[in-house]
Protein backbone atom coordinates (compact mmCIF):
# COMPACT_ATOMS: atom_id res chain seq x y z
CA UNK A 1 0.00 0.00 0.00
CA UNK A 2 2.87 2.36 0.57
CA UNK A 3 4.25 1.85 -2.94
CA UNK A 4 0.89 2.57 -4.67
CA UNK A 5 0.94 6.30 -4.20
CA UNK A 6 4.27 6.98 -5.86
CA UNK A 7 3.46 4.56 -8.66
CA UNK A 8 0.14 6.26 -9.21
CA UNK A 9 1.78 9.68 -9.24
CA UNK A 10 4.42 8.53 -11.67
CA UNK A 11 1.92 6.99 -14.05
CA UNK A 12 -0.41 9.97 -13.98
CA UNK A 13 -0.18 11.93 -17.24
CA UNK A 14 -0.88 15.67 -17.57
CA UNK A 15 -4.43 16.61 -18.77
CA UNK A 16 -4.66 18.22 -22.25
CA UNK A 17 -5.58 21.86 -22.36
CA UNK A 18 -9.13 22.70 -23.59
CA UNK A 19 -9.49 23.62 -27.27
CA UNK A 20 -10.54 27.27 -27.49
CA UNK A 21 -10.61 27.62 -31.28
CA UNK A 22 -14.26 27.44 -32.41
CA UNK A 23 -13.53 27.53 -36.14
CA UNK A 24 -13.53 23.75 -36.27
CA UNK A 25 -16.66 23.18 -34.23
CA UNK A 26 -18.61 20.10 -35.08
CA UNK A 27 -22.31 19.97 -35.91
CA UNK A 28 -23.14 19.35 -32.26
CA UNK A 29 -25.73 21.95 -31.03
CA UNK A 30 -24.63 24.50 -28.45
CA UNK A 31 -27.44 23.56 -26.07
CA UNK A 32 -28.78 20.20 -25.14
CA UNK A 33 -32.40 21.13 -25.91
CA UNK A 34 -31.46 21.68 -29.58
CA UNK A 35 -30.44 18.01 -29.94
CA UNK A 36 -32.91 16.02 -32.13
CA UNK A 37 -35.28 13.71 -30.34
CA UNK A 38 -34.10 10.77 -32.41
CA UNK A 39 -30.81 10.60 -30.45
CA UNK A 40 -31.27 8.04 -27.72
CA UNK A 41 -28.30 8.99 -25.53
CA UNK A 42 -29.11 10.06 -22.05
CA UNK A 43 -26.65 12.93 -22.29
CA UNK A 44 -28.81 14.57 -25.01
CA UNK A 45 -31.71 14.87 -22.64
CA UNK A 46 -29.75 17.18 -20.39
CA UNK A 47 -30.96 15.46 -17.21
CA UNK A 48 -28.90 15.71 -14.04
CA UNK A 49 -28.98 11.95 -13.56
CA UNK A 50 -27.49 11.35 -16.98
CA UNK A 51 -24.81 13.95 -16.32
CA UNK A 52 -23.97 12.33 -13.00
CA UNK A 53 -23.77 8.93 -14.63
CA UNK A 54 -21.53 10.25 -17.36
CA UNK A 55 -19.24 11.98 -14.89
CA UNK A 56 -19.07 8.82 -12.76
CA UNK A 57 -18.12 6.73 -15.77
CA UNK A 58 -15.51 9.27 -16.82
CA UNK A 59 -14.07 9.39 -13.31
CA UNK A 60 -13.91 5.62 -13.17
CA UNK A 61 -12.13 5.48 -16.47
CA UNK A 62 -9.56 8.08 -15.43
CA UNK A 63 -8.83 6.47 -12.11
CA UNK A 64 -8.76 3.08 -13.73
CA UNK A 65 -5.82 4.18 -15.84
CA UNK A 66 -3.44 4.04 -12.85
CA UNK A 67 -0.94 1.27 -13.10
CA UNK A 68 -0.44 0.69 -9.35
CA UNK A 69 -4.04 0.26 -8.29
CA UNK A 70 -4.96 -2.95 -6.59
CA UNK A 71 -7.56 -5.35 -7.81
CA UNK A 72 -9.70 -4.67 -4.73
CA UNK A 73 -9.76 -1.00 -5.56
CA UNK A 74 -10.72 -1.82 -9.11
CA UNK A 75 -13.50 -4.09 -7.97
CA UNK A 76 -14.85 -1.55 -5.47
CA UNK A 77 -14.74 1.31 -7.92
CA UNK A 78 -16.29 -0.80 -10.67
CA UNK A 79 -19.17 -1.87 -8.46
CA UNK A 80 -19.79 1.67 -7.33
CA UNK A 81 -19.71 2.96 -10.93
CA UNK A 82 -22.09 0.18 -11.96
CA UNK A 83 -24.53 1.05 -9.18
CA UNK A 84 -24.28 4.72 -9.94
CA UNK A 85 -24.88 4.22 -13.64
CA UNK A 86 -27.82 1.90 -13.04
CA UNK A 87 -29.37 4.31 -10.57
CA UNK A 88 -28.83 7.22 -12.93
CA UNK A 89 -30.39 5.30 -15.80
CA UNK A 90 -33.41 4.46 -13.65
CA UNK A 91 -33.74 8.03 -12.51
CA UNK A 92 -33.09 9.47 -15.98
CA UNK A 93 -35.75 7.47 -17.82
CA UNK A 94 -38.70 9.66 -16.74
CA UNK A 95 -36.69 12.82 -17.27
CA UNK A 96 -35.60 11.69 -20.74
CA UNK A 97 -39.19 10.84 -21.67
CA UNK A 98 -40.42 14.22 -20.48
CA UNK A 99 -37.65 16.09 -22.27
CA UNK A 100 -38.23 14.15 -25.49
CA UNK A 101 -41.90 15.15 -25.32
CA UNK A 102 -40.98 18.83 -25.19
CA UNK A 103 -38.11 18.74 -27.71
CA UNK A 104 -39.09 19.90 -31.23
CA UNK A 105 -37.24 18.61 -34.30
CA UNK A 106 -35.03 21.17 -35.95
CA UNK A 107 -36.43 20.72 -39.50
CA UNK A 108 -39.91 20.79 -40.99
CA UNK A 109 -39.53 17.35 -42.55
CA UNK A 110 -38.71 15.79 -39.17
CA UNK A 111 -41.63 17.57 -37.55
CA UNK A 112 -43.92 16.20 -40.24
CA UNK A 113 -42.53 12.70 -39.72
CA UNK A 114 -42.96 12.96 -35.95
CA UNK A 115 -46.54 14.18 -36.35
CA UNK A 116 -47.33 11.38 -38.79
CA UNK A 117 -45.84 8.81 -36.41
CA UNK A 118 -47.84 10.22 -33.52
CA UNK A 119 -51.06 10.19 -35.54
CA UNK A 120 -50.57 6.59 -36.81
CA UNK A 121 -52.69 4.29 -34.63
CA UNK A 122 -51.14 1.23 -33.07
CA UNK A 123 -51.82 -2.20 -34.47
CA UNK A 124 -55.16 -3.57 -33.40
CA UNK A 125 -56.52 -0.20 -32.27
CA UNK A 126 -59.23 1.80 -34.04
CA UNK A 127 -58.09 4.89 -35.93
CA UNK A 128 -58.61 8.15 -34.10
CA UNK A 129 -60.35 10.92 -36.07
CA UNK A 130 -58.55 14.23 -35.88
CA UNK A 131 -60.18 17.35 -37.25
CA UNK A 132 -57.85 19.25 -39.59
CA UNK A 133 -56.64 22.65 -38.53
CA UNK A 134 -58.20 25.73 -40.16
CA UNK A 135 -54.85 26.61 -41.71
CA UNK A 136 -54.08 23.14 -43.02
CA UNK A 137 -55.34 24.07 -46.51
CA UNK A 138 -52.75 26.85 -46.72
CA UNK A 139 -49.98 24.26 -46.76
CA UNK A 140 -51.31 22.68 -49.97
CA UNK A 141 -49.90 24.34 -53.09
CA UNK A 142 -52.39 24.53 -56.01
CA UNK A 143 -51.45 23.18 -59.42
CA UNK A 144 -49.09 25.18 -61.61
CA UNK A 145 -51.85 25.98 -64.12
CA UNK A 146 -54.02 27.42 -61.36
CA UNK A 147 -51.13 29.53 -60.10
CA UNK A 148 -50.48 30.93 -63.59
CA UNK A 149 -54.17 31.67 -64.12
CA UNK A 150 -54.41 33.55 -60.83
CA UNK A 151 -51.28 35.52 -61.61
CA UNK A 152 -52.66 36.46 -65.04
CA UNK A 153 -55.95 37.60 -63.52
CA UNK A 154 -54.10 39.61 -60.88
CA UNK A 155 -51.96 41.35 -63.51
CA UNK A 156 -54.95 42.09 -65.75
CA UNK A 157 -56.89 43.52 -62.81
CA UNK A 158 -53.92 45.69 -61.83
CA UNK A 159 -53.40 46.97 -65.39
CA UNK A 160 -57.09 47.45 -66.22
CA UNK A 161 -58.30 51.03 -66.25
CA UNK A 162 -61.50 52.03 -64.44
CA UNK A 163 -64.69 51.83 -66.50
CA UNK A 164 -66.45 54.90 -65.11
CA UNK A 165 -63.96 57.49 -66.51
CA UNK A 166 -64.19 55.90 -69.96
CA UNK A 167 -67.99 56.02 -69.85
CA UNK A 168 -67.87 59.68 -68.88
CA UNK A 169 -65.47 60.44 -71.73
CA UNK A 170 -67.77 58.71 -74.23
CA UNK A 171 -70.81 60.60 -72.94
CA UNK A 172 -68.93 63.89 -73.20
CA UNK A 173 -67.82 63.10 -76.75
CA UNK A 174 -71.36 62.14 -77.84
CA UNK A 175 -73.17 65.02 -76.14
CA UNK A 176 -70.75 67.71 -77.31
CA UNK A 177 -71.95 67.94 -80.96
CA UNK A 178 -75.60 67.78 -79.89
CA UNK A 179 -75.12 70.62 -77.41
CA UNK A 180 -73.38 72.76 -80.01
CA UNK A 181 -76.15 72.12 -82.52
CA UNK A 182 -78.90 73.02 -80.03
CA UNK A 183 -77.11 76.19 -78.95
CA UNK A 184 -76.69 77.23 -82.58
CA UNK A 185 -80.41 76.69 -83.21
CA UNK A 186 -81.18 78.80 -80.15
CA UNK A 187 -78.96 81.59 -81.51
CA UNK A 188 -80.98 81.61 -84.76
CA UNK A 189 -84.40 81.70 -83.08
CA UNK A 190 -83.98 85.27 -81.81
CA UNK A 191 -85.23 88.66 -82.96
CA UNK A 192 -81.61 89.71 -83.50
CA UNK A 193 -81.16 87.17 -86.26
CA UNK A 194 -84.42 88.35 -87.84
CA UNK A 195 -83.22 91.92 -87.86
CA UNK A 196 -79.90 90.93 -89.46
CA UNK A 197 -81.69 88.90 -92.13
CA UNK A 198 -84.32 91.49 -93.04
CA UNK A 199 -81.76 94.29 -93.24
CA UNK A 200 -78.88 92.55 -94.99
CA UNK A 201 -78.28 93.40 -98.62
CA UNK A 202 -79.69 90.90 -101.08
CA UNK A 203 -82.44 89.49 -98.92
CA UNK A 204 -85.56 89.04 -101.08
CA UNK A 205 -88.45 91.43 -100.38
CA UNK A 206 -92.12 90.61 -100.03
CA UNK A 207 -94.07 90.80 -103.27
CA UNK A 208 -97.41 91.01 -101.45
CA UNK A 209 -96.91 94.26 -99.55
CA UNK A 210 -95.01 93.54 -96.32
CA UNK A 211 -92.42 96.15 -95.54
CA UNK A 212 -89.28 95.49 -93.55
CA UNK A 213 -90.95 96.90 -90.43
CA UNK A 214 -94.00 94.70 -91.00
CA UNK A 215 -91.79 91.64 -91.36
CA UNK A 216 -89.82 92.56 -88.26
CA UNK A 217 -93.00 93.03 -86.20
CA UNK A 218 -94.89 89.95 -87.36
CA UNK A 219 -91.78 87.78 -87.50
CA UNK A 220 -90.89 88.71 -83.91
CA UNK A 221 -94.33 87.46 -82.81
CA UNK A 222 -93.69 84.13 -84.49
CA UNK A 223 -90.21 83.73 -82.97
CA UNK A 224 -91.38 84.75 -79.49
CA UNK A 225 -94.19 82.21 -79.69
CA UNK A 226 -91.67 79.42 -80.23
CA UNK A 227 -89.82 80.21 -76.99
CA UNK A 228 -92.64 81.22 -74.60
CA UNK A 229 -95.35 79.22 -72.85
CA UNK A 230 -98.34 80.84 -74.59
CA UNK A 231 -101.02 78.84 -76.40
CA UNK A 232 -101.96 78.91 -80.09
CA UNK A 233 -104.10 82.01 -79.55
CA UNK A 234 -100.88 84.01 -79.27
CA UNK A 235 -100.68 83.82 -83.08
CA UNK A 236 -104.29 82.97 -83.89
CA UNK A 237 -105.65 86.26 -82.53
CA UNK A 238 -103.27 88.46 -84.55
CA UNK A 239 -105.01 90.48 -87.30
CA UNK A 240 -103.80 92.40 -90.30
CA UNK A 241 -104.45 96.08 -90.89
CA UNK A 242 -107.37 95.13 -93.03
CA UNK A 243 -108.94 93.22 -90.12
CA UNK A 244 -108.27 89.77 -91.51
CA UNK A 245 -106.43 87.12 -89.52
CA UNK A 246 -102.70 87.33 -89.93
CA UNK A 247 -102.12 83.56 -89.69
CA UNK A 248 -104.49 80.92 -91.00
CA UNK A 249 -105.52 77.93 -88.90
CA UNK A 250 -103.13 75.64 -90.75
CA UNK A 251 -100.25 78.02 -90.12
CA UNK A 252 -101.09 78.27 -86.42
CA UNK A 253 -101.27 74.49 -86.16
CA UNK A 254 -97.90 74.08 -87.84
CA UNK A 255 -96.33 76.70 -85.56
CA UNK A 256 -97.73 74.79 -82.56
CA UNK A 257 -95.96 71.64 -83.87
CA UNK A 258 -92.74 73.60 -84.39
CA UNK A 259 -93.03 75.00 -80.86
CA UNK A 260 -93.34 71.49 -79.42
CA UNK A 261 -90.21 70.34 -81.29
CA UNK A 262 -88.24 73.47 -80.31
CA UNK A 263 -89.14 73.33 -76.60
CA UNK A 264 -88.40 69.60 -76.48
CA UNK A 265 -85.05 70.20 -78.14
CA UNK A 266 -84.15 73.00 -75.75
CA UNK A 267 -85.19 70.89 -72.76
CA UNK A 268 -83.03 68.01 -74.00
CA UNK A 269 -80.19 70.48 -74.47
CA UNK A 270 -80.46 71.61 -70.85
CA UNK A 271 -80.38 67.99 -69.67
CA UNK A 272 -77.35 67.23 -71.86
CA UNK A 273 -75.53 70.26 -70.50
CA UNK A 274 -76.17 69.16 -66.91
CA UNK A 275 -74.94 65.63 -67.60
CA UNK A 276 -71.89 67.00 -69.39
CA UNK A 277 -71.05 69.24 -66.45
CA UNK A 278 -71.28 66.25 -64.11
CA UNK A 279 -68.99 64.31 -66.44
CA UNK A 280 -66.50 67.18 -66.52
CA UNK A 281 -66.43 67.48 -62.72
CA UNK A 282 -66.02 63.72 -62.34
CA UNK A 283 -63.22 63.52 -64.89
CA UNK A 284 -61.35 66.42 -63.29
CA UNK A 285 -61.20 64.50 -60.01
CA UNK A 286 -60.80 60.92 -61.19
CA UNK A 287 -59.04 61.02 -64.58
CA UNK A 288 -56.12 63.24 -65.45
CA UNK A 289 -56.69 64.62 -68.95
CA UNK A 290 -60.10 62.97 -69.22
CA UNK A 291 -61.92 66.24 -69.99
CA UNK A 292 -59.44 67.09 -72.72
CA UNK A 293 -59.73 63.66 -74.32
CA UNK A 294 -63.53 63.75 -74.19
CA UNK A 295 -63.76 67.21 -75.76
CA UNK A 296 -61.15 66.31 -78.36
CA UNK A 297 -63.12 63.25 -79.42
CA UNK A 298 -66.36 65.28 -79.35
CA UNK A 299 -64.90 67.97 -81.60
CA UNK A 300 -63.84 65.31 -84.14
CA UNK A 301 -67.35 63.81 -84.09
CA UNK A 302 -68.83 67.29 -84.54
CA UNK A 303 -66.64 68.06 -87.54
CA UNK A 304 -67.54 64.77 -89.18
CA UNK A 305 -71.25 65.33 -88.53
CA UNK A 306 -71.30 68.92 -89.79
CA UNK A 307 -69.25 68.13 -92.87
CA UNK A 308 -71.56 65.23 -93.71
CA UNK A 309 -74.77 67.22 -93.25
CA UNK A 310 -73.30 70.23 -95.06
CA UNK A 311 -72.38 68.07 -98.03
CA UNK A 312 -75.92 66.71 -98.25
CA UNK A 313 -77.38 70.23 -98.00
CA UNK A 314 -75.09 71.61 -100.71
CA UNK A 315 -75.75 68.74 -103.10
CA UNK A 316 -79.54 69.06 -102.79
CA UNK A 317 -80.95 71.72 -100.50
CA UNK A 318 -84.58 71.19 -101.42
CA UNK A 319 -84.35 67.47 -100.86
CA UNK A 320 -82.51 67.99 -97.60
CA UNK A 321 -85.11 70.53 -96.40
CA UNK A 322 -87.98 68.20 -97.33
CA UNK A 323 -86.51 65.16 -95.58
CA UNK A 324 -85.79 67.22 -92.49
CA UNK A 325 -89.46 68.28 -92.21
CA UNK A 326 -90.66 64.73 -92.82
CA UNK A 327 -88.76 63.55 -89.77
CA UNK A 328 -90.57 65.90 -87.35
CA UNK A 329 -93.89 66.78 -89.02
CA UNK A 330 -96.71 64.94 -90.71
CA UNK A 331 -97.05 65.12 -94.48
CA UNK A 332 -99.19 68.02 -95.69
CA UNK A 333 -99.00 69.95 -92.41
CA UNK A 334 -95.99 72.06 -93.36
CA UNK A 335 -96.64 72.99 -97.03
CA UNK A 336 -98.17 76.42 -97.77
CA UNK A 337 -98.81 78.73 -100.69
CA UNK A 338 -96.62 81.68 -101.60
CA UNK A 339 -99.15 84.25 -100.35
CA UNK A 340 -99.42 82.75 -96.85
CA UNK A 341 -97.94 84.78 -94.00
CA UNK A 342 -95.34 82.19 -92.98
CA UNK A 343 -93.88 82.06 -96.49
CA UNK A 344 -93.86 85.86 -96.78
CA UNK A 345 -92.09 86.22 -93.42
CA UNK A 346 -89.73 83.23 -93.82
CA UNK A 347 -88.95 82.62 -97.48
CA UNK A 348 -86.62 79.92 -98.75
CA UNK A 349 -83.56 82.20 -98.52
CA UNK A 350 -84.21 82.69 -94.83
CA UNK A 351 -83.86 78.94 -94.17
CA UNK A 352 -80.74 78.70 -96.30
CA UNK A 353 -79.13 81.52 -94.33
CA UNK A 354 -80.25 79.98 -91.05
CA UNK A 355 -78.70 76.64 -92.01
CA UNK A 356 -75.44 78.29 -93.00
CA UNK A 357 -75.26 80.25 -89.73
CA UNK A 358 -75.95 77.12 -87.67
CA UNK A 359 -73.28 75.16 -89.54
CA UNK A 360 -70.77 78.00 -89.27
CA UNK A 361 -71.28 78.40 -85.50
CA UNK A 362 -70.95 74.68 -84.85
CA UNK A 363 -67.97 74.32 -87.18
CA UNK A 364 -66.11 77.28 -85.68
CA UNK A 365 -66.70 76.09 -82.10
CA UNK A 366 -65.58 72.57 -82.96
CA UNK A 367 -62.38 73.82 -84.61
CA UNK A 368 -61.51 76.01 -81.61
CA UNK A 369 -62.15 73.09 -79.25
CA UNK A 370 -60.04 70.79 -81.43
CA UNK A 371 -57.11 73.21 -81.32
CA UNK A 372 -57.36 73.81 -77.58
CA UNK A 373 -57.54 70.09 -76.79
CA UNK A 374 -55.00 68.83 -79.32
CA UNK A 375 -52.89 66.15 -77.55
CA UNK A 376 -49.50 67.86 -77.53
CA UNK A 377 -46.56 66.52 -75.48
CA UNK A 378 -47.09 69.15 -72.81
CA UNK A 379 -50.80 68.36 -72.50
CA UNK A 380 -50.05 64.65 -72.31
CA UNK A 381 -47.57 65.28 -69.49
CA UNK A 382 -44.49 64.45 -71.58
CA UNK A 383 -42.90 67.91 -71.53
CA UNK A 384 -41.02 67.14 -68.30
CA UNK A 385 -39.09 64.34 -69.98
CA UNK A 386 -37.59 66.60 -72.67
CA UNK A 387 -35.03 68.46 -70.44
CA UNK A 388 -33.85 65.16 -68.92
CA UNK A 389 -33.40 63.63 -72.36
CA UNK A 390 -31.48 66.67 -73.58
CA UNK A 391 -29.24 66.58 -70.49
CA UNK A 392 -28.44 62.91 -71.02
CA UNK A 393 -27.61 63.54 -74.67
CA UNK A 394 -25.27 66.40 -73.74
Query: For 2-30, what is each residue's pLDDT tens digit?
Result: 444 444 444 445 555 555 555 555 555 55
φ, ψ for residue 105, nearest 5 deg: -60, 155
Please give the pLDDT value at position 131.
Answer: 62
Give CA angle at 178 (173, 180), nearest 5°. Answer: 95
Query: For 252-289, what is each residue's pLDDT tens digit?
Result: 999 999 999 999 999 999 999 999 999 999 999 888 88
Domain coordinates in residue numbering, the chain: 42-97, 165-382
Mean pLDDT of 327-345: 91
- pTM value? 0.59
**Above 70 in pLDDT, residue 32?**
no
Give Cα 133 to chain centroid, integer Å: 36
* Three-class secondary structure assignment of 247-291: CCHHHHHHHHHHHHHHHHHHHHHHHHHHHHHHHHHHHHHHCCCHH
Please return the burial class of 388, using the count of CB atoms within 10 Å of its CB with bins 0-12, 13-18 and 19+. Answer: exposed
Region label for 332, one of left (φ > 0), alpha (ψ between -120 and 50) or beta (otherwise) = left
pLDDT band for position 157 (cuts 50, 70, 90) = confident
Element (H, E) at 365: helix 348-372
**DSSP string of 134-167, one letter each residue:** TTGGGGSPPPHHHHHHHHHHHHHHHHPPPHHHHH
Q: Provide the 8-state DSSP code for 351.
A: H
- 239 strand-pairing partners: 245
Amino acid sequence: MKDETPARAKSAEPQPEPLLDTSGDSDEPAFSWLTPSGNGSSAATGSPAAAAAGSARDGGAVEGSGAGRSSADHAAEGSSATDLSSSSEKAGEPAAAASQATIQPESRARRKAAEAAAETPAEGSSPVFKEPLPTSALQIRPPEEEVERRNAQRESAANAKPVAPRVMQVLLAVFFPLILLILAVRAVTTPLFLWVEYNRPGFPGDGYGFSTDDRMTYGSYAVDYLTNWSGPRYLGDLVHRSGDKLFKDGEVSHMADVKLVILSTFGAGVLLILVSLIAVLYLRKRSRGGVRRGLFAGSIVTLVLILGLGTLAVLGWQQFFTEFHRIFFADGSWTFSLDDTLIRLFPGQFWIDAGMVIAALVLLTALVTLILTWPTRRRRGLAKDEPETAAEGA
